[in-house]
Amino acid sequence: MATIGKITQATSGTAAVRYAEGKEKLKASTKQFLLKSGVASHVVDQLHDRAVVKSGMNVDPEFASTQMKATRSAFGTTGKETVRVIQSFSTADLNPANPKDWQKANEIGYQLARKAFSGHQVAIYTQLDGTGHKLHNHIVVNMPNLKTGKKYHQHHDWQRLSALSDDICREHGLSVIERSKDPRERRTMAERQLKAKNEYVWKDDLRAHIDSVMKDTSVSSYKALSERLAESGIITHERGKSLSFEFLDAENKHRRARGKTLGEDYEKEQIFNELERRDKQPSQSASNSRTSTLSRAFEQRKRNVKSREPATSQSAKGIERLTVATGQNRSHISSTSKEFSTHVQRTKHRTKDFGTRVKRLGGQISNFSNAISAIAGKIGRYLKQLQAQKQDEQDLFNQLQDKLDQSRQHKEARDKDRGYYRTYQNRGFHR
């Protein structure tokens, strides 16, 4: 079974590749795990990078960073540089202590890249040094298309990639999550890890409260929904095409989440469609709720309520702390509003302070620029002085040279006269 755990965009493609490859960063504890699990010592000795297997589509995984950067430079790509996808495998399907399964995991990642990111440069790095030593792929996709240069842009990528990953897993004989039986929720890797340890997951807590209110078929308007949620300490915000929910969790921490991060059933469109259906058919809402997709999801969560009992019980304590003497949560809403108001004031103050700092920095830069200009002027004048001094020295040298030449000529003339005089003496002539 393979799951798509995280899809993010990276501002630095070089950093994304460097992290996925983990050059010379394989931990000694991972090597010890492999040796204890029966992996041959000569195989373990050859491992140095976090990525135990590497492959690439339209790129060499050993030089992916350089090649992807060159492509982005050629197309003038700005902003986000790569897409990062993490694909994880269950130990029941792929054994992290079997090198053949390392190759299989990487091959599945490569096939997913071919189907999902055709026309892009993709590097696939298979690691096993995470929590529980589960095999997982770091798939790094370069933004620009090699033919058009257009950046990768795909809506609802989690659903699309999950469906493609499931198809590939079936081809390889791996197990697949029956998503039709699973509530349509979106979970991060951290949430799944907490869930596996039976620890508190605040988003599950939030989902449980929303489910509890939505299961009441008398709730048939957004106003009724928000009021009922407020009674449970949950504030609902509507903005554009999205809904968001905020509350204090069982650990008394302020939390906020958008509906789409909780799952498809918590998005504004789904919830409003269900409320509208109930409003139009109030007499049949109880019977028809079982037939709607949203209500079927609620029924499924009801059957899974045992798995949420620890979170719900903890949440009850948190809600008791939030409820005021009147049984309403108005004071909490008021205090939250004051808290947000204070936060806004602090933000304004910080923004003003930041503006002052920017102005001060601008003045310093201006002064620095003026100082540079003054220094440049002094250097120019000094160079002119050097040039003039050099010319004077050259003129003086030329004058000395002329005097030396004249002196040499006078000497040669005198020597010549003296020579004639000696010749006359030698021949016996006297003046």
Helix axes of 222-231 and 268-280: crossing angle, nearest 10 degrees: 110
Cβ atoms within 10 A of the Cβ of 203, count? 23
pLDDT band at 19 (very low <50, low <70, confident <90, very high): very high
Instruction: Give domain status of residue 215, yes or no.
Output: yes
Query: What local confidence, expressed as pLDDT, does residue 285 receive?
Result: 41
Query: What local confidence, expressed as pLDDT, does residue 48 receive?
Result: 93
Residues 194, 318 within the same domain: yes
Instruction: Give domain status of residue 100, yes or no.
Output: yes
Q: Is the pLDDT of residue 142 over 80?
A: yes
Taking only the tens place, the pLDDT of each residue in 189-216 is 677 767 767 788 888 889 889 988 988 8
Residues 56, 165 within the same domain: yes
User: Bigger pLDDT: 255 or 304?
Assistant: 255
Q: Is the pLDDT of residue 72 over 90?
A: yes
Q: Is the pLDDT of residue 352 over 80?
A: no
Please give the share of the chain, as a percent, with pLDDT higher than 70. Answer: 77
Residues 211, 256 within the same domain: yes
| Interatomic CA distance for residues 108 and 137, integer angstroms | 9
**Whole-Å CA distances, 175 to 2, 90, 172, 260, 332:** 8, 9, 9, 27, 46
Q: 210 and 290 in contact (C-beta within 8 Å)?
A: no
Average pLDDT for 402-414: 83
Residues 24, 97 within the same domain: yes
Residues 114, 254 within the same domain: no
Q: Looking at this protein, which amino acid is placed at residue 86?
A: I
User: Bigger pLDDT: 199 or 228?
Assistant: 228
Considering 257, 292, 323, which residue would you say is the last residue of a domain? 323
pLDDT band at 2 (very low <50, low <70, confident <90, very high): confident
Cβ atoms within 10 A of the Cβ of 257, count? 17
Considering 294, 323, 352, which residue would you say is the last residue of a domain? 323
The pTM score is 0.51
Find, among 238, 270, 271, 236, the residue nearest to 256 by Cα.
236
Instruction: Give domain status of residue 183, yes or no.
Output: no
Longest dimension (CA), the chain: 162
Residues 310, 344 within the same domain: no
Residues 292, 335 within the same domain: no
Q: 57 and 113 in contact (C-beta within 8 Å)?
A: yes
Q: 88 and 9 in contact (C-beta within 8 Å)?
A: no
Instruction: Give domain status of residue 402, yes or no.
Output: no
Residues 26, 152 within the same domain: yes
pLDDT band at 20 (very low <50, low <70, confident <90, very high): very high
Residues 22, 140 within the same domain: yes
Cβ atoms within 10 A of the Cβ of 144, count? 22
Query: What local confidence, expressed as pLDDT, does residue 26 receive?
Result: 93
Query: What local confidence, expressed as pLDDT, does residue 246 receive?
Result: 93
| Interatomic CA distance for residues 159 and 87, integer angstroms | 13
Residues 215, 155 within the same domain: no
Which region among 34-38, 94-98, 348-352 has the lowest average model confidence (pLDDT)? 348-352
Average pLDDT for 381-397: 86
pLDDT band at 265 (very low <50, low <70, confident <90, very high): confident
Sign of the CA dihedral with 148 first, then 149, 155, and 157 last: positive
CATH code at position 77: 3.30.930.30
Considering 340, 363, 386, which residue would you say is the last residue of a domain? 363
User: Bigger pLDDT: 157 or 267?
Assistant: 267
Instruction: Give domain status of residue 148, yes or no.
Output: yes
Instruction: Give domain status of residue 417, yes or no.
Output: no
Average pLDDT of the chain, as a whole number: 81
Query: What local confidence, expressed as pLDDT, does residue 323 receive?
Result: 46
Taking the C-alpha atoms of 135, 115, 82 and 58 in order, what is their torsion angle to the nearest 10 degrees? 100
Taking only the tens place, the pLDDT of each residue in 281-313 is 654 444 444 344 555 555 555 555 444 444 445
Residues 237, 122 within the same domain: no
User: Bigger pLDDT: 78 or 289?
Assistant: 78
| Interatomic CA distance for residues 423 and 425, integer angstroms | 5
For 216-243, b/e burial (b = at least 16 CB within 10 A) is: ebebbebebbbebbbebbbbbeeeeeeb
* Domain with 293 in it: 189-323
Q: 219 and 235 in contact (C-beta within 8 Å)?
A: no
- Domain tally, the chain: 3
Taking only the tens place, the pLDDT of each residue in 85-114 is 999 998 889 999 999 999 999 999 999 999
Query: What local confidence, expressed as pLDDT, does residue 284 receive?
Result: 47
For 330, the token pair is 């108005």
User: Bigger pLDDT: 68 or 326?
Assistant: 68
Instruction: Give domain status of residue 389, yes or no.
Output: no
Query: What local confidence, expressed as pLDDT, does residue 329 receive?
Result: 47
Q: Is the pLDDT of residue 399 over 70?
A: yes
| Interatomic CA distance for residues 100 and 110, integer angstroms | 15
Q: Is the pLDDT of residue 386 over 90?
A: no
Residues 151, 193 within the same domain: no
Highest mean pLDDT among 219-223, 358-362, 392-396: 219-223
Taking only the tens place, the pLDDT of each residue in 159-184 is 889 889 999 999 999 988 765 444 45
